[in-house]
Amino acid sequence: MGVGMGAVGLASLLSDAGLFSSAARAAGADVASTINPLAPRGPHFAPRARRVIHFFLNGGPSHVDTFDPKPMLSKYDGKPLPSGPLRTERKTGAAFGSPFKFRQYGQSGLPISDLFAKTAQHADDLCVIRSMKAQVPNHEPSLMLMNCGDGQMARPSMGAWITYGLGSENQNLPGFIAMCPGGYPIKETENWASAFLPGAFQGTFIDTNHTQIEKLIANIRNDHLPLDRQRQQLDLLRQINRDHANQRGPDAQLEARIQSFELAYRMQMEAADAFDLSKEPQKIREAYGSHVHGRQTLIARRLLERGVRFVQLWHGASQPWDHHDNIQGAHAGLAAQLDQPISALIADLKNRGMFEDTLIIIGGEFGRTPTVEVNDSGKSKLGRDHNPYGFSVVLAGGGVKGGTAVGATDEFGFAAVENVVEVHDLHATILHLLGFDHEKFTYRYAGRDFRLTDVHGRVVREVIA
Amino acid sequence: MKSCAKKQAVKVSELQWVALLVVACCAARGLSAAELAGDSEFFEKRIRPLLVERCYECHSDRTGKAKGGLRLDTREGLMKGGDSGPAISVAQPQQSMLLRAIRHEERELKMPPKLKDRLSKEQSNDFESWIRSGAEFPVKHENLTGRTWRQIADSHWAFQPLQATLAPKVKDATWPRSGIDRYILAKLEENNLRPSPPADPRALIRRATFDLHGLPPTPEEVEAFVKECEAENRNSELLVPGADSKSGKPDSSNTSARDTTLEKRAVPDAHSRLIDRLLASPRYGERWGRHWLDLARYSDTKGYVYGDREERFFVHAHAYRDWVIRAFNEDLPYDRFLVLQIAADQLLPDKNVESLPPRHSMKSASESDLAAIGFLTIGRRFLGVTHDIIDDRIDTLTRTTLGLTVSCARCHDHKFDPIPTDDYYSLYGVFMNTTERTLPLTTTPPDTEAYRGFEKELRSREAKLRDSFAGKRREWSDRVRTMSEDYLLALLAADKLWTEEFYAFVQPNEVNPPFVRQWQSYLHRRNQAGFDAIFEPWHRLYQLPKQSFTENAAPILAGLLNAKEPALNGRVASALGAVKIASMEDLARMYGKLLVSTDEAWRELRKKDGSAAALVDHADEALRMVLYASDSPVQVPDRSFYEAEFFFDEGTRVHLAKLASQIDQWLIQSLGATPHAVILEDLPSSSMRTARVFRRGNPAMPGKEVDRQFLELLSGKDRKPFAHDAGRLDLAQAIIDPKNPLTARVMVNRIWQHHFSSGLVSTPSDFGTRSALPTHPELLDHLATQFIREGWSIKQMHRSIMTSAVYRQSSEIRDQSSQLRRDTVPPVAQKEVETRDFSLIDPTNKLLSHFSRRRLDFESMRDAMLMVSGELNGAMGGRPIDLFKQPFTTRRSVYGLIDRQFFPGELRIFDVASPDLHSPTRPVTTIPQQALFFMNSAFIKERAKALVERVEREVAKSENSNPKSDTAVPLAISRLYLHLYQRKPSAGELALGIRFIESMRSQEPELAPTPAPKPSAWVYGYGELDENAGRVKTFEKLPHFSGQAWQGGSAWPDGKLGWVQLTAEGGHAGNDLKHAAIRRWIAPRDMAVSITSTIQHERQPGDGIRAFVVHGPVAKVGEVKPGDAADSALGSWTLHNQNVEANIASLKVRQGDTIDFIVDIRGNLNNDDFIWKVLIAQADIAAGATKDANRPQSTWASHAEFTGVVSPPPKPLSAWEMYAQALMLSNEFMFVD
């Protein structure tokens, strides 16, 4: 065993180096680094956050109705904006004051609309970036930009990058999990793709409308062998593999595969356990709520607790937050599903001492117009069109300065004007919180060192506590 | 001397080792970051890109025209400056001419000259900080700053011509079997290593078979081979040295004696015969074709498409896959192989391309070869954005064939390799002038009814698209004509226009960027063509600065108006005279109005005289031609719809795309369809355009024109533009030119890579300056030269490599190490020390002192399992099959469906090449999800069972002939070992197996007798509710049970019954009100019941669902009682993204009555799935009634009692099956020694 384990230990040590050093790569460490791609690794410098949960409000939530109050917009309600509307995807008309009331919360007095009144109870822990900017008012490229840092080309997603950089603390579960009730968001699996990174870093997709473990993780159950007999079968396998390895001398690849069966055996129990909400006290379950978003968020917490690195929670299939008409009722309905689970999660993480090193991200792929969308004959649809020029993303937890608003949109909320934060900047900041210098966090592919932030990105210092 | 060299080698390695550990530790402790930050980085990030982008077009060595004598690509250049003096002053940074110029501070000194190119304030401040800090100009990378492109091209190893060398001298002359071995051995000897002894024949045949077939050999093949080898050894032992009179006595000083002998040997040895046999089998193409498909990013689907309009499957992508497999099997010469994939259409006999060299690679092609072009057409569709589609083609083509990352030069000159942006757009021009076409792969379709039916429908669908497309093209051209003014105005702000990913949403009345771009290039072409009677004023005034427009424009206009020769178009001249032109906008309006009024005059004329062919006045007619000539910018190009789609508004695009996808769907679905392929075809020369460089890759910023031609790096300064059509054939020719140093090197390296796990160059698709150096450069050239010399034969290359001694080595490291210091180290310490020494010298076995053990990839693993279980289906080609759908296909994995959008998790976790991008290597990861697949998947379980059945049959057969029953168990174990590992078990292994079988048998869990299924009270169906009458009008049972749900058929939605579905927890309403989902409960006896349930609809989109509970009394003739004669609706609910309680307190039912739980789609079909768990409880049971086992059921839970077709629970694996599965999961099965 000694020699074999030595080889594995060496491999994982090499793999650390292989990620960041071309010297090590030259020495062939890239071969070794892929033997166990999910072994935990350290980043460039001391991290503020060790895991990430990303609430993806897909479809584009309206910032002027949630986290970016615009009194001027209400003043102009029904009148054309003095500046005239910017070009977005569809036609919009007059200013459309928010139908939701904003109140100030906490010591910081951070204003948040009634849509997120429960989340607002943690206002002093939230950092709202109000000056986010994407590129085009079109869902597909904006989703790609937010998730993968490029609107068009196949690039690894943020979760894949982070799992590649940090590995996973739990070898019995996938390192990066994307959950969505009811099926895929648009762009489907591209949202959590690993692209040119090894497949192990790709997000594992789970449809949380299902509750059976078999549907959540492929091949997690064996329907033709009771566990005790499987144990005996694996003991035999280990014996056969051991004899095989002994005849051949130390080989890290052989050793890693021997280990993988033991991991998988334990994973059968552990995964089922992670997804089994009946193990949670009634009080906790009630706090999160019984709606699928309560369930999904609570599962996410159990996964993070077990060392999963990155969990992305989508609101639903397709693009639920895309409210071109009747935004008042529609936004209220969706926010009500998320507000309680988010609030419960923050409280729960605090109670468990996990809040300080868990990064929470809440946001969509872009925002919505402050002007009202109109139909072909110019009639108001009481909704808002897509708006990439200005929108909000909320951060909380590990290393984030709570009770703050960073940057600003113009007085009507159309475009980010102050301390503009491009999506690449957000990525750079997230990587910074996780301990990475985003410019040095690279992967060599096609003769080039690729980055999540491509050739852009700056760390937004104001976000950091 | 000898030992000294050895020591040194170890020392260096140790140093590297230490360095490695330090790096590793730093990374782990977090110290490695940001330490290198400094001036050079600032420069590389903020300064150099701007210099390259904004300045070098005029001020660098590369373009060879340093304007004003100023070069900004070296520090010397900057300090020396140009004709007006130094560009920078480190002493007085503010005064630097460069700064003043980029800030546009002075009238005469503005750089870049155009206002719109001016650097931002932040950027010019960066320049200032940089000059203040000393204007360091680091020569960090070997790029154009430090060394010229030519210097790089002249010095980087991969760009040098192939060099044939004599195989080096080696000390151990007995080992080499061929030239290859001498190169390898020389390097080993240099590093004080020795090759390993030959692998034993069993390992060798297993290795070679997996290598060439991706399958294990059969036990019979192994035995035969072993016997042949043994016989050969016996013979060679008989042939004592010197006995062979022709070769003479081997002489250690004569290094070439032995391989000369071998090469001259008339009878190939058993090993060579083995390789020949393997190469001749069609299994070879299936294996090596798959390697090529990795490079070609093969997929059967297009990636993300808008589901409302486009078919997501390619039409017959598999025709390409099958062509590749065939090409490998036929040993199509590699140069020919490439030519066909790039330009097969150009070689069809009727093309008559002239002046082709009389080479075999340029022979005419047949229709079936058109499938080869799939190489270019099966990439992602990027939602139709042409620039990205072309980029994907350039990337795949250049990395696959040349090992060059040309697409890095899309936005800026390649940072590391001598590939300027211009060269990227030279290739872009080739693909820009091609169009896609779907063509049949045979010109002689079968004379069958099925084919005629297929063709008739196909023609009708094609006609629909053609007519509609033509109509829309006319409609849009008309619209754009009337909007001429808007378009000319838009032209002035063209760089602010949306780029393609946003064209999607243009409305009919809006300016549409593709037409603006056509206007742009139209005017550009006219300007290039000399004096332009119509637009000359436009061309001349276009560059004038805004502020001083009027004063500068006046003399120019006056000059144009006064000139007799050449004279302006009369209409243009009088229009110019009539209005004041104070800006380009004024000019645009003038032209716009002129064109619109000309157009109106033409329409008037046509109204009066339908046969009129031209306007009477020449000046008018010339203006009319701007809008009506075939090259007019208002014409929607007559290409395939998919390539012209962005010329239309959103509504039209959806309309046309649906018609186009109906054609595709017919080709995909119709069983009468002959194989088709999507090919590329060049535009007619009248429609060809010259590509322009897109600055920063932005199509809104077209720069200079570039010829369609090959890379300067490879074709030299005197290269000629491509001559044939758009140039694909010339491009192919340039790639396969034997003088091109890359093509052969790249391919032999790929072949080597798949034989030895790693290439001689470990970056197989990047041979540029950042590539890994070849471990054996001379060997690489030796192989490449031989490859070309032997007619680019891939099979010949396999033969050379696989018959070498280096390929035949054992994979066992220990042998090597004990050889290494056999005589110097005391035997006890030997093992430890030597292993470490060994790994220090060559830890990753780059020098090939032994064969590298290799894990089976997914395809080989899956195929091997099917092979050993005796199930493998050898059928070749055809439509792709889902590998993971039950019942599992037994076809080879290469025929499995590759869906790039929904890439199966199994393929992902086993590192199968991602179909998104060209994949030169596959990572080899080990993760527990792989183990879960091995342990628990139904696929493996079935293979284990089939293998056991096979062995049982074999044992029974031999038992019959030899009825000694106590040998049955050992015999079965032996058969398992033979099939799985191609060897017999050792005594220990036999004992282990027997022990396991016995132990498992003794503990076999007693199978409880399968209980007879209880009659269920629930029935699952669909039907229609008569709302007014409150009764169910129709009820039909759902015909198919999927294992999880009742539905219309095995596919969901079903072709006939659509979305209707019932699961344990809920279900999905059917497509219309006639297909409501109905869960029916039938009362087993008379009683009173209560109903408790919650209905959940958790969906925002759509309008929600309606739910009903209806009580239907059983019709009993003559027993109709008042009150239960008719059905009665007990409740109805409408839900949208909410939950409701649906409870009924009490209800009397009689035996056979039904209670229906009905869900329909409400208004429209959109997100109509639901959860509805129902609990029915007998209400008239006295509380506290004694618990009695015989008491009839009194509660019915829809969820818990959900049943499908009642099938017995899966039978647990037998002891033998468990054993076989374990052997199949073992490392010995999964690794090749």
Mean pLDDT of B165-184: 93
Query: Rounded to an integer, what distance in angstroms lies between the CA atom of residue B709 and that of residue B729?
Result: 11
A10 part of contact set with chain B, CB < 8 Å:
no
CA dist B675 to A275, B223, B329, B350, Å? 48, 42, 20, 21
Question: Is residue B203 predicted with pLDDT exceeding 60?
Answer: yes
For B662-671, write each residue's pLDDT tens digit: 999 999 988 8
**Is B1088 exposed, middle or buried (CB count within 10 Å of its CB: 0-12, 13-18, 19+)?**
middle
Query: Rounded to an integer, what distance in angstroms lies between the CA atom of residue A322 and that of residue A334?
Result: 11
Instruction: Please identify which residue in the block is written with the tokens 């996973």.
Output: A168
Q: What are phi and psi of A296, to 5 degrees?
A: -65, -40
Which residues of chain A make contact with B23, given a CB cutoff of 8 A? 17, 20-21, 23-24
Least confident of A175-179, B1-5, B288-292, B879-883: B1-5
pTM of the model: 0.78
Query: Rounded to an integer, what distance in angstroms lies between the CA atom of residue B701 and that of residue B232?
Result: 71
Residue pair B497/B510 in contact (Cβ under 8 Å)? The answer is no
A-facing residues of B in 524-543 (CB < 8 A) are none
The tokens describing A69, both together, are 């109050």
Question: Is residue B817 predicted with pLDDT exceeding 50?
Answer: no
Question: Is residue B377 predicted with pLDDT exceeding 90?
Answer: yes
Closest residue in A to B766 (Cα) is: A447
Best probe of the B interface among A171, A314, A448, A459, by most B CBs < 10 A, is A448
Helix B968-981, helix B1215-1225: angle, nearest 10? 30
Give the pLDDT score at B1127: 57
Query: Rounded to an integer, what distance in angstroms lies between the CA atom of residue A364 and that of residue A137?
Result: 12
Query: Rounded to an integer, what distance in angstroms lies between the CA atom of residue B372 and that of residue B319?
Result: 8
Give the pLDDT score at B54: 79
Mean pLDDT of B1021-1050: 88
Size of interface A-B (CB pairs under 8 A): 308
Give the pLDDT score at A89: 75
Give the pLDDT score at B63: 55
**Is B830 exposed, middle or buried (CB count within 10 Å of its CB: 0-12, 13-18, 19+)?**
middle
B417 part of contact set with chain A, CB < 8 Å:
yes
B773 part of contact set with chain A, CB < 8 Å:
no
- Where does the pLDDT of residue B130 fall: very low under 50, low under 70, confident under 90, or very high at 90 and above? confident
Coil, strand, or helix at residue B1054?
Answer: strand
Question: Is residue B94 predicted with pLDDT exceeding 80?
Answer: no
Closest residue in B to A184 (Cα) is: B902
CA dist A273 to A269, A302, A303, A344, B497, Å? 6, 9, 10, 21, 54
For B773-811, write each residue's pLDDT tens digit: 999 999 999 999 999 999 999 999 999 999 999 999 999
Beta bridge mates, B1160? B1106
Q: How far is A317 from chain B (nearest CA, A)?
A: 9
Q: Which of B440, B321, B304, B429 is nearest to B375 (CA)?
A: B321
Q: How far is A106 from chain B (nearest CA, A)?
A: 32
Which residues of chain A make contact with B923, given a CB cutoff of 8 A? 34, 37, 198-199
**Is B584 exposed, middle or buried (CB count within 10 Å of its CB: 0-12, 13-18, 19+)?**
buried
Which residues of chain B make contact with A432, given a CB cutoff of 8 A? none
Query: Rounded to an integer, what distance in angstroms lies between the CA atom of residue B911 and that of residue B1140?
Result: 46
Q: How far is B967 from chain A (nearest CA, A)?
A: 22
pLDDT in tens, chain A (465 residues): 222 222 233 233 333 333 333 333 333 333 334 467 888 889 999 999 999 999 999 999 999 999 999 999 999 999 998 877 777 778 889 999 999 999 999 999 999 999 999 999 999 999 999 999 999 888 988 999 999 999 888 899 999 999 999 999 988 888 999 999 988 899 888 899 888 888 889 888 888 887 777 777 788 888 888 899 999 999 999 999 999 999 887 787 888 899 889 889 988 988 888 988 989 999 999 999 989 999 999 999 999 999 999 999 999 988 999 999 999 999 999 999 999 999 999 999 999 999 999 999 999 999 999 999 988 788 899 999 999 999 999 999 999 999 999 999 999 999 999 999 999 999 999 999 999 999 999 998 877 889 999 989 999 999 999
- Cα angle B20, B21, B23 (rounded to 5 degrees) comes to 65
Give the pLDDT score at B652: 92
Q: Do residue A188 and residue B304 have CB atoms under 8 angstroms apart?
A: yes
- Position B834: which residue type? E
Residue pair B399/B747 in contact (Cβ under 8 Å)? The answer is no
- Where does the pLDDT of residue B684 fall: very low under 50, low under 70, confident under 90, or very high at 90 and above? confident
Query: Rounded to an integer, what distance in angstroms lies between the CA atom of residue B689 and that of residue B435?
Result: 13
**Is B1007 exposed, middle or buried (CB count within 10 Å of its CB: 0-12, 13-18, 19+)?**
exposed
The residue with greater pLDDT, B589 or A38, is B589
Average pLDDT over chain B, rounded to whole? 85
**Which residues make Cβ contacts (< 8 Å) with residue B175, sequence separation at least 6?**
B181, B185, B195, B805
B1223 part of contact set with chain A, CB < 8 Å:
yes
- Where does the pLDDT of residue B1205 fall: very low under 50, low under 70, confident under 90, or very high at 90 and above? low
- Where does the pLDDT of residue B253 fall: very low under 50, low under 70, confident under 90, or very high at 90 and above? very low
**Which residues make Cβ contacts (< 8 Å) with residue B953, sequence separation at least 6?**
none
**Which residues make Cβ contacts (< 8 Å) with residue B204, sequence separation at least 6?**
B198, B225, B271, B274, B808
Which helix or strand (DSSP H or E) is residue A258 part of? helix A252-275
Query: Rounded to an integer, what distance in angstroms lies between the CA atom of residue A269 and that of residue B922?
Result: 31
Residue pair B869/B275 in contact (Cβ under 8 Å)? The answer is no
CA dist A391 to A80, A413, B589, Å? 21, 8, 38
Residue pair A134/A381 in contact (Cβ under 8 Å)? The answer is no
**ipTM confidence:** 0.77
Which residues of chain B make contact with A140, given a CB cutoff of 8 A? 304, 383, 501
Q: Which of B1066, B1053, B1045, B1056 is nearest to B1158 (CA)?
A: B1066
B929 part of contact set with chain A, CB < 8 Å:
yes
- Where does the pLDDT of residue B840 fall: very low under 50, low under 70, confident under 90, or very high at 90 and above? low
DSSP A14-51: HHHHHHH-HHHHHTTHHHHHTTSTTS----SS--S-SE
The DSSP symbol for B1140 reads E
B886 part of contact set with chain A, CB < 8 Å:
no
Residue pair A11/A256 in contact (Cβ under 8 Å)? The answer is yes
Which residue in A89, A137, A218 is closest to B905 by CB distance? A218
Give the pLDDT score at B504: 64
For B636-671, write each residue's pLDDT tens digit: 988 888 888 889 988 899 999 999 999 999 999 888
Closest residue in A to B1211 (Cα) is: A224
Residue pair B795/B285 in contact (Cβ under 8 Å)? The answer is no
Which residues of chain A make contact with B1228, given a CB cutoff of 8 A? 240-241, 244
A-facing residues of B in 507-526 (CB < 8 A) are 507
Q: Which of B326, B196, B325, B207 is nearest to B274 (CA)?
A: B207
The residue with greater pLDDT, B508 or B19, is B508
Coil, strand, or helix at residue B306?
Answer: coil
Provide long-range contacts, Cβ within 8 A and 24+ apart, for B901-905.
B901/A188, B901/A189, B901/A190, B901/B301, B901/B302, B901/B303, B901/B304, B901/B312, B902/A188, B902/A189, B902/B301, B903/A189, B905/A204, B905/A218, B905/B929
Q: Do residue A232 and residue B501 have CB atoms under 8 angstroms apart?
A: no
Residue pair B679/B437 in contact (Cβ under 8 Å)? The answer is yes
Give the pLDDT score at B389: 94
Beta bridge mates, B1144? B1091
Best probe of the A interface among B196, B1227, B1231, by most A CBs < 10 A, is B1227
A308 part of contact set with chain B, CB < 8 Å:
no
The tokens describing B482, both together, are 């009337």
Beta bridge mates, B1177? B1090, B1195
Which residue in A36, A251, A333 is closest to B1100 by CB distance? A333
Mean pLDDT of B566-576: 94
Question: Is residue B1038 predicted with pLDDT exceeding 50?
Answer: yes
Q: Do residue A21 and residue B765 have CB atoms under 8 angstroms apart?
A: no
Query: Rounded to an integer, what distance in angstroms lies between the CA atom of residue B1117 and that of residue B1121?
Result: 10
Give the pLDDT score at B962: 62
- Where does the pLDDT of residue B587 fall: very low under 50, low under 70, confident under 90, or very high at 90 and above? very high
Cis peptide upstream of residue A281 (ω within 30 degrees of 0):
no
Q: What are phi and psi of B459, to 5 degrees?
A: -60, -40
Which residues of chain B make contact with A442, given a CB cutoff of 8 A? none
Instruction: Please identify which residue in the block is written with the tokens 């049982």.
Output: B952
- Position B1042: which residue type? S
Closest residue in B to A21 (Cα) is: B23
Q: Do residue A244 and residue B1227 have CB atoms under 8 angstroms apart?
A: yes
Question: Is residue B735 predicted with pLDDT exceeding 90?
Answer: yes
Tabulate helix, strand, coil % of chain B (nearest 5): 50, 10, 40
Share of residues in chain B with pLDDT > 70 (%): 86
Q: Which of A192, A148, A151, A185 is nearest to B502 (CA)?
A: A151
B1230 part of contact set with chain A, CB < 8 Å:
yes
Q: How far is B557 from chain A (nearest CA, A)?
A: 36
Residue count of chain A: 465
B717 part of contact set with chain A, CB < 8 Å:
no
| The dihedral sign for the CA sequence B1160, B1162, B1163, B1168 | negative
Q: What are phi and psi of A102, to 5 degrees?
A: -100, 140
- Where does the pLDDT of residue B964 fall: very low under 50, low under 70, confident under 90, or very high at 90 and above? low
- Position A412: which residue type? F
The DSSP symbol for B210 reads H
Q: Do residue B1212 and residue A19 have CB atoms under 8 angstroms apart?
A: no
Question: Is residue B282 predicted with pLDDT exceeding 90?
Answer: yes
Query: Rounded to an integer, what distance in angstroms lies between the CA atom of residue B1071 and that of residue B1085?
Result: 35
A140 part of contact set with chain B, CB < 8 Å:
yes
Best probe of the A interface among B927, B1007, B1103, by most A CBs < 10 A, is B927
Cis peptide upstream of residue B1053 (ω within 30 degrees of 0):
yes
CA dist A253 to A175, A343, B231, B553, Å? 21, 45, 36, 75
B-facing residues of A in 236-295 (CB < 8 A) are 236-237, 239-241, 243-245, 248-251, 253-254, 256-261, 263-265, 267-268, 291-292
Query: Rounded to an integer, what distance in angstroms lies between the CA atom of residue B113 and that of residue B129?
Result: 23
Residue pair B1080/B1155 in contact (Cβ under 8 Å)? The answer is yes
